[in-house]
Each structure stands twice: as structure tokens, then as C-alpha cells.
Amino acid sequence: MQQLIRYILVPAAVGALVGLLVIVAGLRPTPEGKPGYAEAVKRAAPSVVNIYSTKVVQPPVCEIPRFREWCERFSSYGRDHTQSSLGSGVIVRKDGYVLTNNHVIAGADEILVAFADGQATTATVVGSDPETDLAVIRVQVRGLTAIPMGSSDDLEVGDLVLAIGNPFGIGQTVSSGIISAKGRAGISSLYDDFLQTDAAINPGNSGGALIDVAGRLVGINTLIFSRSGGAEGIGFAVPVKLAMSILEEIVATGRVTRGYLGAALANYRGAGMGLEVAGVEPSGPAHAAGLLPGDLILAIDGRPAASPTMVTRQIARTAPGSKLSLSIQRNDEQLVLVATAGTRPPRE
């Protein structure tokens, strides 16, 4: 009897149980078997647009004063020419606000926006910020879909991302890669804080979307490092947190305003911490506060002066007219100077 239970009934019961589990599992909804990121693209792609801009330019030689008369006499040579540019943009608000790169629309006389569904319309410039190479344009179209917002702070190196844009003007294209690095600085301006990615980014992708695998916006694709002019695995995007803060300020005031000290700073090569004042702009806020070349800035408003980039960003976030407490060392003496933040001049 024991052998009957051991060799026949027990295996039969186990087999029946396994079979039941298989049947139950078969009745459950199974995850989609097709690998890829089609759902993420479906969520984000309708909010990514192609941008075509044109501007009328004179031949460069005709801008030189001594050749202007010659260009006017030979009008066929001096005739204005139309210069075209292409790029991408991202619909970030359903009331028509689109984020793109400043270099895509800078100086444009006309901006045409083409949507993913084939429609097209003209756009107007709301404002731009050359320091971060961002611009805000607006279209008067109803029924727009704003892209879902992600978090650039939560991204980690190695996370998968997708780039959506209009490379070489061939139409909306998706490429994939990972986050290669965060916080890349010193590439184009003092305010760089780029996400680096190896997702293929080519001319025409500028201003397009960098999204996560859930289809949420995490960055605005801006520039590439390339020896050939094409994608070589080193692309940069402005984090969505920074991009949206720039957009909100431009929508509210038409421009971006940054605090300004008027002092050139360099890393201190001697013993101790701080930044050396390499130069002071005459009549600037630092000059008015009594800061001198050769002074060592130890802290600003109690925050250690760790690097020229960090200090420049800290001052930039200070509203013009606000007071800045500068803890400095001059020779063997420590002093506290108070400067009134100015307004940073616009970048050419």
C-alpha cells in the first residue's frame, strides 16, 4: 500500500497540481511579448514637432562698409538671399508653447512648425536664452497634446533613453541609448548642466525630445561632439528641470534674468580653499563692494566657494538688487564684503 501511495498516487497528485497551475497561468493576462519601446514612443511622439526656419541675409562681403556701395551698384550680386535652418521642438503645454533650441530659430524671419500628424503652421518667438541655448515659441493650434513630464533628477547613469527628432530633415526619427553622464559642464557656457547620451543625435535633432522608457520628457537634445558632423555617441541634452524653469521665466517675463557680480574667478593654486579673483569689472557690483584682484573668496552667503562654475550659478540664481555676503581673505586678513547683485548682460 505504501508503495502504491509513493509511486503512483503522489506523482499523480503532483502532476495534477502542476497541470492546474499551468491552466491558471494560461488564463492570466500575459505581458506583451514584443520587446522594444513602442508604447513610450506612442506617448511622446505626437508632442515632438519639426521646425523649419528661414531668414533673409546679405552676402557677408556686403556687410563691410567699403563694399556696400559696390553691392548696391551690382545689385544682382548684392541681392539678399534666403537662408534656411531645420530642427525639432517639443510641445510642453497644450496652449501652444513649444521648447526648442535657440540656434534653431535665432534671427529667423519665419518659423514653420510641422506636427506628427502632417499638419503645419507658423509660430512666433516668445523668448530665448542663448546661455542655455533654449528658446520658447508658440503656435495657435487647438487640440495639442503636451508631452508627459519626467524627472531629470531621478535619472541615473546607465538608464535607457530615446531621442526623438528630425535628423537631416528626413522626418521624425527615434534613436535609443543610455545616459552616459550627468552634470556635464564647461562645454558651451557657464550654465551648462548637460545630460550626456549615446543615443544617436544628428543635425536636425536639435530641440527634440530625450525621453525615458515610459515616454516622459527628461531633456531637450541640444548638441553633439563629432569629428564627422554626424552622430558619434556623444550627445548632450538640457535636463527637463532646467528647461522648464527657463520656459516658465520666459513665458512670465519674456526673458531670462540672472544675477551678476562682475568678477573673474579662478581656482586657487595655493594652500587652503577658495577662489582667486583674477579680475574685477570697473563700475561693476564687485568693484563697488571693494573686491580687488588677488583677493581670495572663501564663501558667498555662507556657502563655500568650491569652483568658479558653482559660484557663477549661485550668483546667477540671485535676483538683481539682492545683497551678497562675500567672505574673503586679503593677504593675511579675513574680511566680509557686501555686494549688490547686478543684472548679467545678455550673451551675444
List active site positions.
103, 133, 206
Q: Report the 10 Å Cβ neighbour count for 94.
A: 13
- Using an 8 Å Cβ cutoff, are 197 and 205 in contact? no
- Using an 8 Å Cβ cutoff, are 56 and 82 in contact? yes
Enumerate residues 6+ apart whose C-beta is below 8 A from 116: 45, 46, 48, 49, 172
Residue 175 grid cell: 534613436
- Using an 8 Å Cβ cutoff, are 339 and 322 in contact? no
Cα within 13 Å of Cα(56), Cβ side: 4
Rounded to whole angstroms, how far apart are CA atoms 265 and 313?
13
User: DSSP for 175-188?
Assistant: EEEEEEEEEE-SSS
- Using an 8 Å Cβ cutoff, are 108 and 56 in contact? no
Place of cell 547613469: 157
* CA proximity to 93, closest of 233, 247, 226: 247
